[in-house]
C-alpha cells in the first residue's frame, strides 16, 4: 500500500499503532529489511518546527540516521521522513505516496 505520510499515519492509527519510531541501529536495520529495495515513510517529522524532529507516537527522537546532506528541506517543503532502501533517512514532501511501516 502506498499513501501520503498523513494517510499512512491514519492507516497505522486504524491498525492500533503509529508510523514506526526507530530507537537504535538494530531497529533501523530491522525496518530496512522490510523495505524490499524501495523507500518508505517512518514516523519522524518536523512539521511543527523546522529541524525539531518528533515521532508520531510522541516518543523522543533519540536516534537519527540521515543520509549525508540531509535533512535539507528542499523547496522549503520537506517535513516528513522516509527511510531509503539503504537504511538511511531523508526528509521528503509529505504528500508523496510511498509504502510505509507501522508499529504498535
What domains does the chain contain, in order, with CATH numbers? Answer: 5-103 (3.10.100.10)
Q: How far apart are CA 36 and CA 53, in angstroms?
A: 26
pLDDT computed for residue 68 by the predictor: 97
Torsional sign, CA 66, 27, 54, 11: positive
pLDDT tens for each residue of 29-71: 999 999 988 999 999 999 999 999 999 998 889 999 999 999 9
pLDDT tens for each residue of 70-93: 999 998 999 999 999 999 999 999
pLDDT tens for each residue of 10-30: 999 999 999 999 999 999 999
Q: Residue 39 pairs with which residues in a beta bridge?
A: none
The yes-or-no verdict on residue 1 having pLDDT over 90 is no
Q: How far apart are CA 89 and CA 65, in angstroms?
A: 6
**What pTM was computed for the model?**
0.95
Q: What is the DSSP string of 73-89?
A: -GGG---EEEE-TTS-E
What Rg value do the Cα atoms of the chain yield, rounded? Answer: 12
pLDDT computed for residue 36 by the predictor: 84
pLDDT computed for residue 20 by the predictor: 97
C-beta atoms surrounding 56 within 10 Å: 23
Q: Which of 52, 40, 26 is nearest to 99 (CA)?
A: 40
Amino acid at each position: 500500500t502506498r499513501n501520503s505520510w498523513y494517510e499512512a499515519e491514519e492507516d497505522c492509527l486504524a491498525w492500533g499503532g503509529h508510523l514506526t519510531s526507530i530507537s537504535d541501529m538494530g531497529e533501523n536495520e530491522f525496518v530496512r529489511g522490510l523495505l524490499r529495495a524501495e523507500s518508505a515513510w517512518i514516523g519522524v517529522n518536523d512539521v511543527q518546527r523546522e529541524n525539531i524532529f518528533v515521532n508520531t507516537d510522541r516518543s523522543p527522537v533519540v536516534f537519527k540516521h540521515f543520509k549525508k546532506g540531509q535533512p535539507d528541506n528542499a523547496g522549503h517543503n520537506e517535513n516528513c521522513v522516509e527511510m531509503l532502501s539503504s537504511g538511511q533517512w531523508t526528509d521528503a514532501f509529505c504528500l508523496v505516496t510511498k509504502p510505509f511501516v507501522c508499529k504498535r
